[in-house]
Structure 1
Amino acid sequence: MSRFDTIVMVDWSGGNDRGAVPKPDAIWAGVVRNGVEEEPVYLRNRQVAEAWLAGLFREEIAAGRRVLAGFDFPFGYPQGVAGAVTGKADPFALWDWLEARIEDGPQRNNRWQVAAGINALFPGVGPFWGNGTRRDLEHLPRKGRDRRGHGCAEFRQVETLAKGTFSVWQLAGAGAVGSQVLMGLPVLARLRRRFDTAVTVWPFEAASGQVVLAEIWPSLIRDAVKAEGDDIRDRAQVRLLARAIARLPEAELNAMLAIRSDEEGWILGLGHEDAQNAALAPTLHPPALKDDCFALPPGVDWTPVPEALARLRDILHPVVGTETVPLHAASGRVLAGDTRALRANPPNPNAAVDGYGFAHSATGDGPQVLPLVRGRAAAGLRYDGTVPPGHAIRILTGAALPEGVDTVVLEEDCRSDARHVAFNGPVKPGANTRKAGEDVAEGDVILPAGHRLRAPDLALLAATGHGVVPVHRRLKVAVISTGDELREAGDSADAGQIYDANRPMLTAILRGWGHEVIDLGRQPDDAGAIRRALDDAAKADAVLTSGGASAGDEDHISRLLREEGRLSNWRIALKPGRPLALAQWRGVPVFGLPGNPVAALVCTLIFARPALSLLSGAGWQEPLRMQAPAGFAKSKKHGRAEYPRARIGADGRVELFKSEGSGRISGLSWAGGLLELPYEAQEITPGDPVTFLPYAGFGL
């Protein structure tokens, strides 16, 4: 079944015209077209609604788009009613019967009289009740308690399962579903006739048409509707239900539409409430950072790297909201909460090998010959019978163990003539079987909040029943390079100009970390241009700038952040590097990186990576540290941490790049990571253990 392009959810009304001004208890339609949510449509009466629906269907059919149209009234009556009224046990016969008799206008209709006429076809009094006219009508009682002996079921099967639904027989008062049905089915009958085979009606027909009509019940998402706080509840219902259906994974929606009914009908999504509500999980926005969050305590001068990192970790918190995404789109996303198994894995005791299954208690030592029962058990093809003691069954890998089987003997250890199986005992009890939930039990926490999802995690989520996943929204990070001397890579450049190496490097790093990048390009040494770029960057969750963060004449980044934002120059004791400019612009954190690509990379890996990870909801990330023997000699002075470019050579020893000059960009590509040298003085000789931070540990 192909995906629907357009979702239309309609809240119906059995009453009169509600006027030009949008009101509750009118007809409302929610539309999501090609994934884009449209404003709900107010339809003042059924005539306007029918014309609007016909126009929408015509437009979508002409455009080749598939439509799922839901209506919040029952599509059928309890079993036997259609046959009693029309002589045919066919819901569409009843639709057409009603369409031929219902007279409807904006201010009056004959539903009461038609209901009384149907009651007259049954013995006793009823089943319809709720006479809403001022005069008594023969055969139509005003109260439900006045009915008797009509012989019709009060509820359809689906209504016995959907707690809180109302009876199709009630015509007046709160929950008067009966009037909606009488006034809605004739409209659907005409639409079905107008568009012929392009329209199919679920669940009486397969959901295969270009337009599929389906019965809905917005109360399946009542909590989300209540939380919406819309003063017109009908408007909120159609908007949210259209959104939920549009966001469902295709497999989940297909599972809903797989149900079929001959006469009574069914509510779309009943039994799948969790999936629909998960699709409507609200986007929660954590509080913004405090305006002075980067301010250092009084008296702090040069800050050791560990102290600077600890300070960042203490002052930052996640700044992104949450959303629910289909499982197939969740790779690289960060879980918004602890995730529990919705289903055990495996869900049933099953066979671990191809072979023959039996009850161990009926076997013993020495040669065993057991008669085979008819049939076999295979994965996805459960054996519904019971295997008697002393008998065996052919069973394949992954098949659920039939009743009476607790042990499986490997096929290679058996001989069979298709009627008996022979093998040598004893066989260990429970051999070659897997217990239900031996991998994961239902309800177990399988992945923690803050975990970034990988391909193996998607397999685990799928196996334990998850079709959608609540995740943090991707952190949006804006990137800006500054400097008149910069040119775009590949453009012509004169002797006094250089190519912008930082933006390609930083954007690649950020995308690899799973963040959404807003590339704001190269900005000249012009305060106005940089101010505009920073204003654009404030649409993001965080900003990385490179260059212009010192105190020179053309260092407009630092001046603007100081004068119009909140700037804290952290003098961090590290090499390569310089003071790290941490600031806020319009409430958004800004990391002012050095313009030198080597220093920019080191500051990004050591400081920006864990900070951005924390902002994104993935928690603080420490780099991977490996101990390896030094393949060099070095004398390091006290007073700052150093991160020279390094790699592990063929002999397993750490090699240093030939020069520590921070202008040598080639060393970044040559290296496989960074060497971490602590704040204290250190004398290193070949063979001494040193700490190596591989690029792979930074997600590069």
Structure 2
Amino acid sequence: MSRFDTFVVVDWSGGNDRGPTAKKDAIWACIARDGQVEGPVYQRNRQVAEDWLRDLVETEIAAGRRLLIGFDFPFGYSAGFCRALTGNDDPLALWDWIESRIEDAPKGNNRFDLAGEINRRIGNGRGPFWGNGLRRDIDGLPRNKANYANDFAERRACETLAKGSFSCWQLSGAGAVGSQVLMGVPVLARLRRQFSETVAVWPFEPLDTPVALVEIWPGLINPAVKQAEANGELRDAAQVRLLVRALSRLDPATLGELLAVDAPEEGWIMGLGHEERLMKAASTPIAPPPLRNDCFALPAGVAWTPVEDALDMLRTRLRPVTRTETIPLQDASGRVLAQDVIAARSNPPLPNSAVDGYGFAGGALEGPHVLPLIEGRAAAGVPFDGIVPAGHAIRILTGAAVPGGVDTVILEEDVTCDGRQIAFRGPLKSGANTRKAGEDVVAGDVALRAGREITAVDLALMSAVGVAHVPVRKRLRVAVLSTGDELVEPGEAVAAEQIFDANRPMLLSMARAFGFDPVDLGRVADDREALRDQLDAAAKSADVILTSGGASAGDEDHVSALLQQAGAMQEWRIAIKPGRPLALGLWHGVPVFGLPGNPVAAMVCTLVFARPAMSLLAGAAWREPQGFDVPAAFEKRKKPGRREYLRARMRDGRAEVFASEGSGRISGLSWADGLVEIGDGARHIRPGDTVRFIPYGGFGL
């Protein structure tokens, strides 16, 4: 079985706890679930990573998802080693042998001692392991390869083919894969034992279980990793992100080819020999699947669609159509996050002072206190190099890292100081006027979620947590096209029966205000073949197309006719005033919104329907217009059956509406600063009654 729902890649480490702040040469993991790649996750030590892996396996099994987890360390040793140590050729028995003897804690482990023991047992104390990374000598473990002897092959068969790979016998120094093996297989052995009915290890066992553990190596996609590293991404994080992206993009047949190997003792690097496929899958910009032709289809028998039903259908059927890219932080304002942003550093990174004052330990009881003042001070960016003795105080400024021996800060305004000592009155709680490390955001946590439109304050947050490059969606390209023989360009000669094109400049400006890239396609006369050519051009240059005019079923309604011919058109007769006809379809896979030709109706339909739909297409969240309940300054009787939008403005705390509801009165759009929304039912509104007012800004204008 080679079909998986969830892929995980783990970059392992044989070293000690790396602390709360995300850093290189640590354990990193990344998940791709149902084709969606999440942000890389920092794991400070193996204990944390093991708990994370255990929870992950339980979660995926419970959800009925099939899981493949790739680890970047060898699963086996050179032929003959397993039998020499355990008496048989089963590499999984060797896992259990190592697991039973490895002692591991966040700050230390016995891997070097165990390697020395193995060397003394089967290698006369001169190999196969080498590379003692401790200060003390270890009997049987050489510090380097001087006087080194190895009765087994220096590299496994797969490693002789993997350019740049390292030997699993090396325990210290650059490329110390051997330490990763000794500290990795015990974790996998425990996972395998705990989930004995659901976990299989490749290539030693058949992959007919819900969870597969495989060996993989980021060196197979090193050019892509180097490019990400050059763009400012931490190498370890880039490795897991790109490699899991590559695996998740492989079809089951290709994945089956990668898994079809025979290496029953030594194991194998998954993907070896298929580097070009993996590189292509890792490097190609992410692209969402195309929309289906039925994404705009109405349920059978539907004639008039209520506004809420139309919005629900758009909300549930549309998905992002934009590709992703990684850009510098300073260029990210207004863009849509393509992935969760993971904090690379805690904010604040260290405990610090919230005020200018004096720091000491333990707080203070009620009553007067006098403390001797030590020399020196702590300032932001200039920490105090030392420990403040108990019963003493130190001068500390806002933002300064709290020195050792200090947990409380008193405001300078509450202190009398003579240069040698300070006097103040309690009580003062321990920890007062200090900020804890990570009290805002902890390294490794999600700082911002995918789909968020990045604001100026988001740039501040990402900068504070050490993010220099941001994965974003490319801006949605919105093509705007006007249709009709009656249209001419402002400034051109115009006949009495012609009108100037008002829709196109309005819609292009709206697209720009929404944060999209407008693409001006000009105007097309009522010529079906010319319109076809323009739609073809739009499909190549845009992600979504807005047309105005020609969206009904008349002889000259060519937008509807062409979409019908393409087999991907729906005419939504929506119970809305103004703007009932709305043609929706796909042209060469690109969504088309056929808006009414009337400017008032075109604007209302764009704000109510196209705006939130384009937000989804751009990769952001569905955008609900932000409205307010306010008193009416008008009277209106409304019949049931349609939702109405009136051009309105706020004056003296009340909503006024434009004097005429005629949809040809474009001046009412400029007169207004928003819309009053009146629900589908019958209503008699009198002055002072509550109505919902949506300012243009509530739609994002």
TM-score (norm 1): 0.62
User: CA shift at 1:531, angstroms?
Assistant: 0.9
For residue 247 of structure 1, the aligned residue among 216, 226, 231 is 231
Shift of 1:422: 2.8
Query: Per the alignment, do residues 225 and 302 of structure 1 end up closer, same or farther by CA in structure 2, a change over 3 Å counting?
Result: farther
Task: Quote the residue 2:376 is aligned against.
Answer: 375
Q: What is the aligned partner in structure 2 of residue 274 from structure 1?
A: 237
C-alpha displacement of 1:275: 5.9
1:483 aligns with 2:484: yes
Aligned residue among 173, 177, 183 for 1:160: 173
- AA aligned to 1:406 is D
Give the deviation of 1:495 after TM superposition. Answer: 3.1
* 1:143 shift after superposition: 11
SS in structure 2 of the partner of residue 693 of structure 1: strand
Distance across 2 between alignment mates of 1:552 and 1:225: 61
Equivalent runs, 1:222-233 vs 2, <5 Å: 226=220
| Residue aligning to 2:559 | 557
Structure 2 matches for 1:295-694, cutoff 5 A? 295-360=297-362, 364-539=365-540, 540-649=542-651, 651-694=652-695
Alignment check: 8 A CA contact 1:478 1:544 kept: yes
Say which SS state the counterpart of residue 504 (structure 1) adopts.
helix
Deviations 1:178-222 (A, max 9, x none): xxxxxxxxxxxxxxxxxxxxxxxxxxxxxxxxxxxxxxxxxxxx9
> Structure 1 residues 286 and 143 mapped into 2: Cα distance closer, same or farther (>3 Å)?
farther
2 CA distance for matches of 1:223 and 1:663? Answer: 65
State how far apart, in whole Å, the 1-side matches of 2:495 and 2:682 are. 43
1:493–1:377 Cα change, 3 Å: same
Structure 2 residue identity aligned to 1:243: Q
Are 1:629 and 1:686, in contact at CA under 8 Å, matched by a contact in 2?
A: yes
* Structure 1 CA distance for aligned equivalents of residues 410 and 222 of structure 2: 56
Cα deviation code 1:539-576 (max 9, x no counterpart): 22211111122233332222222223521111111111
Structure 1 residue runs of 5 or longer lacking an equivalent are 1-140, 147-153, 167-221, 227-235, 253-270
Whether the 8 Å contact between 1:275 and 1:468 is mirrored in structure 2 is no
What is the SS of the residue equivalent to 1:481? strand
Q: CA deviation at 1:404?
A: 0.4
- Please name the residue that 2:13 is paired with: none
**What's the C-alpha RMSD, in Å, of the aligned pairs?**
3.0
Measure the CA separation in 1 of the matches of 2:675 and 2:387.
64
Q: Structure 2: 5+ residue runs without aligned partners?
A: 1-144, 151-166, 180-215, 243-281
Q: Distance in 1 between matches of 2:219 and 2:499?
A: 57
Counterpart for residue 61 of structure 2 = none
Amino acid in structure 2 at the alignment position of 1:554: E
The CA distance in 1 between the partners of 2:471 and 2:286, in whole Å, is: 11
Alpha-carbon distance, 1:597 to partner: 0.9
1:232-276 deviation digits (Å, cap 9, x = unpaired): xxxx644x356335533xxx7xxxxxxxxxxxxxxxxxx654368
SS in 1 for 2:583: strand
- Given the superposition, is the C-alpha separation of residues 518 and 223 from structure 1 closer, same or farther in structure 2, using an over 3 Å criterion? farther
Tell me how far apart the structure 1 counterparts of residues 472 and 218 of structure 2 sit (CA, whole Å): 18
Amino acid at match of 2:380: A
How many angstroms does 1:524 deviate by?
2.1
CA distance in 2, matches of 1:549, 1:402: 70
Q: Could you list the per-position Cα deviations for residues 589-615 of structure 1 after superposition, in whole angstroms to 9, with x for gaps in the alignment?
A: 110001111000000011111111112
Deviation at residue 443 of structure 1 after TM alignment: 3.4
SS of 1:643's equivalent in the other structure is: strand
How far off its partner does 1:160 sit?
A: 2.0
Provide Cα deviations, 1:27-85, integer angstroms capped at 9, x if missing partner.
xxxxxxxxxxxxxxxxxxxxxxxxxxxxxxxxxxxxxxxxxxxxxxxxxxxxxxxxxxx
Q: 1:282, 1:323 within 8 Å by CA — same for their partners in 2?
A: no
Contact 2:171–2:178 (CA<8 Å) still a contact in 1? no
Q: How does 1:118-129 map to 2 (within 5 A)?
A: none
Aligned equivalents of 1:247 and 1:272: distance in 2? 10
Report the 3-state secondary structure (helix = DSSP H, G, I; strand = E; otherwise coil) of the residue aligned with 2:425: strand
Specify the alignment match of 2:199 in structure 1: none
The Cα shift of 1:699 comes to 0.3
State the Cα distance separating 1:689 from its structure 2 match: 1.0
Distance 1:397 1:284 in 2: 44
- Residue of structure 2 equivalent to 1:695: 696
- TM superposition shift of 1:278: 6.6
Q: State the one-letter code of the partner of 1:506.
A: L
1:439 deviation in Å? 2.2
Contact 2:551 2:560 in 1 (8 A): yes
Distance 1:660 1:524 in 2: 29
- Whole-Å Cα distance in 1 between the matches of residues 566 and 368 of structure 2? 89
User: Aligned letter for 2:301?
Assistant: G
Change (3 A) 1:618 1:486: same
One-letter code of the match for 1:609? Answer: R
Q: Taking every aligned residue pair, what percent have the same amino acid on both sides? A: 59
Q: Which has the larger radius of gyration?
A: 1
Give the Cα–Cα distance (whole angstroms) in 2 for the partners of residues 536 and 444 of structure 1.
Answer: 44
- Name 2:248's counterpart in structure 1: none
For 2:681 and 2:217, the matched residues in 1 are separated by 59
Q: Is the 8 A contact 1:644 1:676 kept in 2?
A: yes
Q: Kindly indicate whether the alpha-carbon contact (under 8 Å) linking 2:358 and 2:396 is maintained by their aligned counterparts in 1.
A: yes
Q: TM-score, normalised by structure 2?
A: 0.62
Report the secondary structure of 1:550's partner residue. coil
Q: Secondary structure at the residue paired with 1:360?
A: coil
